[in-house]
Chain A
Amino acid sequence: MSWADRLQRIDNRILYVTLAVAVAIPVFVRVRMPIPPTIETLGAYEAVENVPPGKLVMVQSTWDAGTIGECEGQCHAVIEHLMRRGQPFVIWTSNPASPPFYNRIIEAAARRHGRVYGRDWVDFGYKVPGGALAFGVQSMARDFPGYMKSDVRGTPVTQIPALRHVRNATDFALIVTIGYNPIGEFIQFVQSVYGTKVVFGIAAINSTTTYSYIDSKQIVGMLVGARGGAEYEMLVKRPGRGVQIIMAQSFGHLLIIVLVVVANVSALAQRRLSRGAQA
């Protein structure tokens, strides 16, 4: 068996272990890499930065254990930014598994910045099933207190200090939706109707087709995968999960590039060697 044959037949399990070792390097060795923000991340950061003081922000979070690698950093950075500025926000989800994940981040940020529930943020929990978002988002945008009724603690919307004057989507300066899929309903039924600005925080796998929304100004910014989270964390100067993941991912990508080159070189060599043997 030639060296090219051997390289072509590396056991997959060896590759998996090599990848695990590569992504584990930053656990043991402190690595510093520059993480300059991209235009789409800057758009998201500036959108939060430009929200008038006291004006409400809506955060819709659908990420859970399956997307924690990409979306935790995004959520961490956005919540940190909102809490630091003292910008009141409401949060809700269309995924019942999401609240424990975002609440952990919110509670830690609230402790750091001395924020109070009801005044600085309100949690509505699981309010709309994923399959009914088109109806739920429209109803919520038209009559927020009427649709939401009460928060997760059972307090009616009208009795929550942060929400006393909220009527519809125009009372929100910005909507940030974080999850595996972008929630297009915010563009289709809120941004286009009420003019409320929208920011997407999404998994990299779904980002390719959403860049056109930035170009058409339907969204003002976008956090793409772990990279978006890491860039935003650097902008708010609080590196967290996003930065950790992107460091490890750099080693993983480097290994994949090496493997792609090795596989192609060995495939070409194998073809040439077999032609030589036939001749």
Chain B
Amino acid sequence: MTGWLPHPVSPFSYQGLTIWLGAVATLAIFSFLFRENRAYRFAEHTLLGLGIGFGVATTITDIIIPKWWNPLTEGWGQGRWGMVALALTELLLGLLWYGLYHRKTVWLSRIVMGLSIGAGAGLAFKAEINDKLPQIIASFKSPYVPAAEATAFNNPVSNTVFVVVMLAVLSYFFFSVEQRHPVLRTSSRIGRVFLMLTFGVFFSNAIMTRMSVFIERVWFLLTQWLRMGA
């Protein structure tokens, strides 16, 4: 950053060229804010193509080769047939997925699909218990906390607010009986207000995230490409 007037970086070096490419791509994407145009479409499709190509290439070099090909070839070379059998079984199971593409072989894909669903369900069960159980336990909060034990997340005020909000929101989602009783109806309405507040927080956090992306690009254009700044 060396001044108030733009003096773009030279494109005749590797680093300069990458900055220029980045700047042109950024401007092409931002041009959509003015109107739909070919520069935007070109940048969008280039990004998609690059992303997919890069993802496929790195999955082959960083995952498939070290995790499948190397054990197979090493096992073969060293006569460790257990490793070879494991790698070939993995290959067979992987190939079964392609059974989806023909009517007569769909049944093959169902075998591996069933295995995946079973493993996924088992994992999800374990994950949910480990994820949610501590939160359920933590939700049993006492409105009374001795002053010596009070912390930012555990004090009489926040615990009381927590319990009221939790019960109100839970009552909003209580659909087992019609919400005619005045207590349930009031609690449910308060719960709806708290939910609206939460959605407001979600939305403002979404703005923060999008804004950060935008700021980073504006700063890139000004400070790295045009080399402006105090």
| A residues adjacent to B (C-beta < 8 A) | 12-13, 16, 19-20, 23-24, 27-30, 39, 66-70, 72, 96-97, 125-127, 129, 134-135, 149-150, 184-185, 187-189, 192-193, 203-208, 212-218, 225-227, 241, 244-245, 248-249, 252-253, 256
Contacts and interface: CB of A to CB of B under 8 A. Distances in A.
A208 B198 contact: yes
Given A68-B216, A215-B138, A205 B208 contact: yes
Interface in B176-214: 198, 201-202, 205-214
B218 A70 contact: no
B219 A248 contact: yes
A205 B33 contact: no
B62 A27 contact: no
A24 B228 CA distance: 10
Interface of B: 1, 4, 33-34, 51, 54-55, 58-59, 62-63, 66, 123, 126-128, 130-131, 134-135, 137-138, 152-153, 198, 201-202, 205-216, 218-219, 222-223, 228-230
Given A69-B213, A249-B212, A27 B219 contact: yes
Counting chain B CB atoms within 10 Å of each CB, the highest count among A125, A184, A215, A241 belongs to: A215
A129 B59 contact: yes
Top 9 A-B residue pairs of the complex, sorted by shortest distance between their CB atoms: A69-B212, A96-B58, A69-B216, A216-B138, A192-B130, A205-B209, A188-B127, A204-B208, A126-B62
Contacts of A189: 126-127, 130
Contacts of B214: 19-20, 23, 69, 252
Contacts, number: 139
Contact of A187 (B131, B202, B230): B131
B187 to A, nearest CB: 21
Contact of A28 (B4, B62, B130, B198): B4
Contacts of B128: 188
Contacts of B51: 97
Nearest to A180: B209
Nearest to B213: A69
Contacts of B211: 23, 249, 252-253
B42 to A, nearest CB: 18
